[in-house]
Every structure is written in C-alpha cells, then in structure tokens.
Amino acid sequence: MSDAPPRDLRDLTDPVVVVAFGGWNDAGSAATGAVEHLAEAYEAESVFSIDPDDFYDFQVNRPVVELDEDDDRELSWPTTELKVAQLADGRSLVLVQGLEPNLRWRQFCALITSALRSADVQRVHLLGALLADTPHTRPIPVSTSTGDRELMTSMGLAPSGYEGPTGILGVLGDALERTGVQVLSLWAAIPHYVSHPPCPKATLALLSSLEQLLDTSLELGELPELARAWERGVDELAAEDAEVAEYVTSLEQQQDATDLPEASGEVIAAEFERYLRRRQGN
C-alpha cells in the first residue's frame, strides 16, 4: 500500500468524484452501496489505497480472514481505496470508499485531498445516509447541500443549518473546500425502523440524485428491481405487526400533510429554476 497518489491520476478527463465511508455516515450501507454499485457497473480499477496502520484501530475495525480461489487463507485489512473508471459520456469516474478512520482524521483527509488535487478535481460529491422518521412506502428523501455560497446560489440550494457532531465526510469536505474544491453533500434519509443493511431503495435514491447533478444517466442495473423487492419485503413485515403498520401509516400521513399541492408546486418551480440555471451555464 502507498500513501502517494499514482501518476495516472494526472491523466483523467474532467473527473467526476464520488466519496462514501462506512460507519457513522452510512445508515443502511446506502452510501457505500452506491459507490460499490458504481465500481462494479463501470469496472473501476483500484489505483490507490491508504496504509491502514496509521488510521485504523484494529480492535475496533478488525482485519478479516478470507479464502481465495485456491482456498488459501489471506487477511483483508480495513482501508480506504481510490478507484478509477470511465462514464459513458467520456468523463473519468473517481470513487473513494473505505471505513471511517479511527485515528488522525486531519492527516487522513490531507492524503485524500492531495490525491484528488493531483487529478485537478474541481468538484467532489460526498454521499451519506442517516436514520430518520420517514416511511418506507414513500420516495427516500435526499438532501443536497454545499458550503460554497456561489454554488449554493447557482444551484438554488438552501444553506444547511446543521450544528453538532460530524463524521469523516464533514472533515473531508472542510479540507477540500479550503483548497478551493467545490463540495456537494448528498444525504439519504433511511426509515429508522428498517435500518438493517442493505437498503437498495436509498442507494437508488442517492444515485438518482447524482444523475441529476451530473446531468447524465448512470448504469443502474438491477437496483430499481432490488428497491421494489426491498419495499415489498418491508410491506410484508409491517403487515405482520399491527403496531409497526400503525406507525408507518402515521408517518405516511405526516409526510403527505407536508406534501400539499402548493408545496409541490413550489418544489417543481424551484427545480425548474435550477434546470434553467444549469442550461444557461452550459
């Protein structure tokens, strides 16, 4: 493993960067699921991995014993990898994925920032997922935010009012913005009563939001069907428990009450304004 970015990162074409970390930032494994899906769909190749010794507590995130094709035992260590692929429109796809580190977050973020800066990255998309009071029967909400005031205005985004503890995504986003890189954070809200991973519906929601931001289509594969199957499975579980079914109904009523026609009209108008701004910028 090496902490120095490889030379081929300097040969990328208009790189699209997507980042996700397992752990605190990743309810239902929805965010890492999105990056893993992209890596598989576009046959991404690993070009850079961080030496885990300085950043992970192996009593918290233990190495895993695996068997290879010859049934030989080998250790897999917790780490963070950077992978590269190519989108259908010709842009390079850069994927950063790993476990949230346990130690030396500022040094960890400096390494990733340096690698991305060597690729002349202009914008980074950070994916996260949190538990929320949202029903599984409705579209998974995905919030998009940025600390860049100009980008916020041009995209019609509302400023984030969150104050409190943050994860590695917050620290990495701050490090990137301090070097002049634009950062967009996408967070999916996972129904807290069905948070066990995987959550393909939330993974699909994150990728759909990413499609809109990139103004391109992504390879979704079987994700739409997996999302429908996941929802049907939760429907069946809720039907077997009267209290859960009643709770889901109450969440649906609460969400429907906030999605009045007037509010929906405002959302559509705001989205259309963002669409016009994107077109005018092209």
User: Tens of pLDDT along 95-153?
Assistant: 999 999 999 999 999 999 999 999 999 999 999 999 998 889 898 999 999 999 999 99
pLDDT for res 158: 86
70 — pLDDT class (breaks 50, 70, 90): confident
CA distances from 257 to 83, 202, 238, 246 (A): 43, 22, 22, 17
Element (H, E) at 92: strand 92-99
- Rounded-to-integer distance, Cα 12 and Cα 84, Å: 9
Residue 86 has phi, psi (to 5 degrees) of: -135, 130
- Rounded-to-integer distance, Cα 95 and Cα 17, Å: 6
pLDDT for res 251: 86
**Cβ neighbours for 143, distance < 8 A, ≥ 6 positions apart:** 186, 187, 189
Exposed/middle/buried for residue 116 (C-beta within 10 Å: 0-12, 13-18, 19+): buried
pLDDT for res 252: 84
- Rounded-to-integer distance, Cα 236 and Cα 192, Å: 17
A 10 A CB-CB count for 210 gives: 21
Mean pLDDT over all residues of the chain?
A: 88
pLDDT for res 11: 86
Domain 7-281, second-level architecture: 3-Layer(aba) Sandwich (3.40)
pLDDT for res 8: 65
User: Is the separation of the CB atoms in 200 and 230 below 8 Å?
Assistant: yes
pLDDT for res 31: 98
- Rounded-to-integer distance, Cα 198 and Cα 50, Å: 26
pLDDT for res 71: 86
For the ranges 3-12, 102-111, 246-255, which has the lowest average pLDDT? 3-12
- Rounded-to-integer distance, Cα 18 and Cα 30, Å: 13
Among residues of the chain, what percentage have pLDDT more than 70?
Answer: 88
160 — pLDDT class (breaks 50, 70, 90): confident
pLDDT at 260 over 60: no
Q: Mean pLDDT over residues 28-51, rounded? A: 96
pLDDT at 256 over 80: no
Element (H, E) at 46: strand 45-49
**Residue scoring higher pLDDT (203 or 264):** 203
Tokens 């301090």 found at: 178
Here the tokens at position 275 are 């669409």
User: Is the separation of the CB atoms in 39 and 98 below 8 Å?
Assistant: no
Q: Mean pLDDT over residues 220-228, rounded? A: 96
**Residue scoring higher pLDDT (265 or 121):** 121
pLDDT at 232 over 70: yes
pLDDT for res 35: 98
Max distance between CA atoms of the chain, in angstroms, equals 62
pLDDT for res 68: 84
Q: Can you tell me whether residue 141 is helix, strand or coil? A: coil
User: Is the separation of the CB atoms in 172 and 184 below 8 Å?
Assistant: no
**Residue scoring higher pLDDT (162 or 223):** 223
| Domain extents in the chain | 7-281
pLDDT for res 63: 94
Output b/e per residue, 58-75; b: 16+ Cβ within 10 A: eeebeeeeeeeeeeeeee
